[in-house]
């Protein structure tokens, strides 16, 4: 998407939609929000909506970092203790990894 062609009001509206969409367990939207609007928020010359866009970009980055931390922690714990959890560990898995039983 070329943000150069979109008016500033629509940029703010789109940035807000991506920010709110991330709360629907879609952290990828926060990543897209940060990547697309980083220049608009921090590089471009100041304009009226920029302050709000900057706030949404910062909050999206924070939400994304929290999701990455939570998912990394869960994946690490699951990989370490799956075999010790027995059947529960197997039920949590879509495919059962080959490994120690």
The 3-state DSSP class for residue 100 equals: coil
Torsion angle, alpha carbons of 72, 32, 62, 78, to 10 = -10
Q: How confident is the model at residue 10 (pLDDT cuts 50, 70, 90)?
A: very high
Quick check: is 98 in a domain? no
Number of compact structural domains in the chain: 1
Q: Which of 7, 12, 14, 19 is nearest to 53 (CA)?
A: 12
Angstrom distance (rounded) from CA 23 to CA 64: 10
Quick check: is 97 in a domain? no
Angstrom distance (rounded) from CA 49 to CA 13: 10
Q: How confident is the model at residue 35 (pLDDT cuts 50, 70, 90)?
A: very high
Asked if 31 and 62 count as a contact pair (C-beta separation under 8 A), the reply is no
Give me the residue label for tokens 């807000």: 16
Q: Global pTM?
A: 0.83
Average pLDDT, the chain: 91
Q: At what angle do helices 8-21 and 27-42 cross, to 10 degrees?
A: 150
Angstrom distance (rounded) from CA 57 to CA 49: 12
Quick check: is 13 in a domain? yes
Quick check: is 74 in a domain? yes
Domain of residue 69, residue span: 7-91
pLDDT higher than 90, residue 36: yes
Quick check: is 26 in a domain? yes
Q: How confident is the model at residue 101 (pLDDT cuts 50, 70, 90)?
A: low
Quick check: is 1 in a domain? no
Quick check: is 45 in a domain? yes
């Amino acid at each position: 998407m070329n943000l150069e062609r979109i008016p500033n009001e629509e940029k703010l509206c789109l940035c807000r939609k991506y920010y709110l969409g991330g709360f629907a367990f879609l952290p990828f939207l926060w990543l897209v929000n940060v990547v697309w609007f980083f220049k608009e928020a921090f590089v471009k010359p100041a304009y009226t909506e920029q302050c709000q866009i900057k706030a949404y970009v910062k909050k999206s980055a924070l939400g994304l970092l929290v999701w990455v931390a939570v998912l990394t922690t869960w994946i690490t714990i699951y990989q370490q203790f799956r075999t010790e959890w027995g059947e529960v560990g197997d039920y949590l898995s879509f495919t059962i990894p080959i490994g120690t039983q």
